[in-house]
Structure 1
Amino acid sequence: MSYEQFSYIYDRLMTDAPYDKWVEYVLDEKSRFHVSGNRLLDVACGTGELSIRLVREGFQVTGVDLSDSMLVVTASKVADKGIHLPLFQQDMSQLEGLPTYDFITIFCDSLNYLASEDQVKETFRRMYSHLEDGGLLLFDVHSPFQMLHGFANRTFTLNEEDIAYIWQSYPGTARYSVEHELTFFVLDDMTGQFNRIDEWHYQRTYPVKQYTTWLKEAGFDVLRVTADFSEDPPIKTSKRIFFTCRKK
C-alpha cells in the first residue's frame, strides 16, 4: 500500500502525532537494556518526522518505506536540514540487502498495514536478520480493542479553511481488521479550487499472545510489552501496544 497523493498532506494531518513520545520510548529502552550502539533502522519512516528527531538525538538513522512519494517528502526535508539520513524503498516483509543495526523501529502502527499473518511473521524474521546480536526491535500496534471499538463503524471528520476530510472505518473480513475509506478536499492555492483525493487503507492486528508467539519463533526474546506510552502492561481497553524485543 502506497500513500500516493496522501503523502503530501500527511504531515498536516499528523501535527498532533506523539513523535516526541516515540523518541522518549526509544531512549528509555536504550538505557534500560544497555544498548551501546546508535545505528538505527526506522522502518515505515513515512515523511521522516520521527527519523529526523532520532538523528538529532545522536542516532545514525537509515529510513525505509514502501511509498516512493513518502520518501520524496522525507528526502526534501533531509536536504533542507543538511542531515545525513539514507533512505531506501522497500517492503518491510521483504527487507533485504541492508546491513545490521543496533535498533529497528516500526512505529505509528505501521505493522498493522500488513494484510496477512505470513507477512507479519516474515517481517519479524527479516528484522531479526538485520539486527546485531543483542539489538532491539521496538514497535507498536493497535490493540484488538482499538480495532473493534475505536475504529469499526466510526466516522471522523475535519473541516478547515484549506482542507477537509471524511474518514469512515468499517470492520474488515478478517478478525481484528478494519477498512478505512478517506475522502480529502484540499485547496489548490493556484486555482482557488478544492481537489478531491480518495484513499482506501486496510489495517489488521492480533492479540498480544499471538505477536509474542511469532516473535519467539523468529528468535526474539520479548523483554517488555506495555500500553499507551506508559510503563503499564496492556489491559482489555488499551489502545496501542508496545513491544521491546531483543535478538538473542
Structure 2
Amino acid sequence: MTQSYTEFAAVYDELMTDIPYDAYVDLLDEAAGGIAGKRVLDIGCGTGLLSVKLAKIGAKVTGIDLSAEMLAVAEGRAKALSLPVQFIEQPMQQLAGFTGFDLAVIAIDSLNYLADQEDVQATFQQIYASLAVGGALVFDVHSTFKTDVIFMEGPFTFDDGRIAYIWETEEGEQPHSVDSELAFFIQEANGLYRRFDEVHSQRTFAVHDYVEMLMEAGFSVERIFADWEDEPPHEESERIFFQVRK
C-alpha cells in the first residue's frame, strides 16, 4: 500500500453517510450489556464517528488508528463536542498498553487492511489481552463473495457535485484480496477541482478461518451474522459480523 487515508481523511465523513453507525452502537450496547460507563477500545477508529457516538451515551472510549490524518479529524470532532475520548496512533496488530477493557470493536471492514493472516491473528491475541474477563469483541469484515465477485465488477464512480471519484479495482496477489486505485476530484472554493489519488489494498478470509483464529486467541464465538441483519451468512452475503467473548 503506497498511500492510504492521507488526503482522503478530509473527505472521508462525506463519503460514509450511508453507513448505519447508530445500528453499530446498538450492536455494541447489546454486546456490552449496556455500554454506559464501560471502557471501549475503538480499533481502526478513523475520524472518530463511532467513537463519538459511543462517548455520547456514556462509554469511556479510547480510539486507535494508524493514520495521523484520520486521528487529527477525530480529535477535533471530540474536542468540539467536549467529549473525553482518547485517541492513540498505533497499528492494530501491535496493539499494546491496554488492559481491563469491557469491549473492543473493529468497525467497517478496518480489519481487512491487514494482508497477512499472522497480523490478523496477532490483532486478535492483542485484543484478547486488552479485555477484562467477560469482555467482548465485535467486528465486521468483507465476505469472500464481496472481494472475489462484487469488487471485480468495477470500476465504480461517484459524483455529488462537490466530490467525485473513479474507483478501479483488480484482484490482489493473495486469495480473497483486492487492490484499489481511487482518483478523487474535490471542488475548491474557486470552483476548480483538485485531484488526488489513493491506493488501498484489502484482504479477507473465509468465515471458518476467522473462527479458527479467534478460538486460537482464546475467544468464545457468540454470534456470526451478516449485512446488519440477525441472520446467518449465506453465499452472497457482503458484510460478515462477529461477536466473541473472553
Q: What is the TM-score when the length of structure 2 is the normalising length?
A: 0.95
Match of 1:133 in 2: 133
Return the alpha-carbon distance in structure 1 between the equivalents of residues 120 and 241 of structure 2: 15
> What is the Cα deviation at residue 161 of structure 1?
2.2
The match for 2:29 among 27, 30, 48 is: 27
Q: Which runs of 5+ in 2 are unaligned?
A: none
The aligned runs of 1:137-148 (5 Å cut-off) are 137-148=137-148
Match of 1:82 in 2: 82
- Whether contact under 8 Å (2:39, 2:61) holds in the other structure is yes
Deviates more, 1:214-223 or 1:96-105: 96-105
Match of 2:19 in 1: 17
Q: Which runs of 5+ in 1 are unaligned?
A: none
SS at match of 1:152: helix
- Whether contact under 8 Å (1:183, 1:199) holds in the other structure is yes
- Cα-to-partner distance string for 1:163-199 (whole Å, 9 max, x where unaligned): 211011111111111111100001121x432111100
| Cα distance change on mapping 1:160 and 1:37 into 2, 3 Å | closer
Match of 1:224 in 2: 223
The aligned runs of 1:94-109 (5 Å cut-off) are 94-109=94-109
Return the alpha-carbon distance in structure 1 between the equivalents of residues 245 and 35 of structure 2: 10
Aligned residues: 244
- Whether contact under 8 Å (1:153, 1:171) holds in the other structure is no
Pairing 1:213–2:212 present: yes
Deviates more, 1:157-166 or 1:134-143: 157-166
The aligned runs of 1:187-206 (5 Å cut-off) are 187-189=187-189, 191-206=190-205
> What is the Cα deviation at residue 100 of structure 1?
2.7
Q: What is the TM-score when the length of structure 1 is the normalising length?
A: 0.94
Match of 2:172 in 1: 172
Match of 1:3 in 2: 5
Match of 1:118 in 2: 118
Deviates more, 1:150-159 or 1:196-205: 150-159
Match of 1:182 in 2: 182
> What is the Cα deviation at residue 93 of structure 1?
0.1
| Cα distance change on mapping 1:68 and 1:35 into 2, 3 Å | closer
RMSD of the TM alignment (CA)? 1.5
| Cα distance change on mapping 1:222 and 1:159 into 2, 3 Å | same
Match of 2:239 in 1: 240
The percent of aligned pairs where both chains have the same amino acid is 43
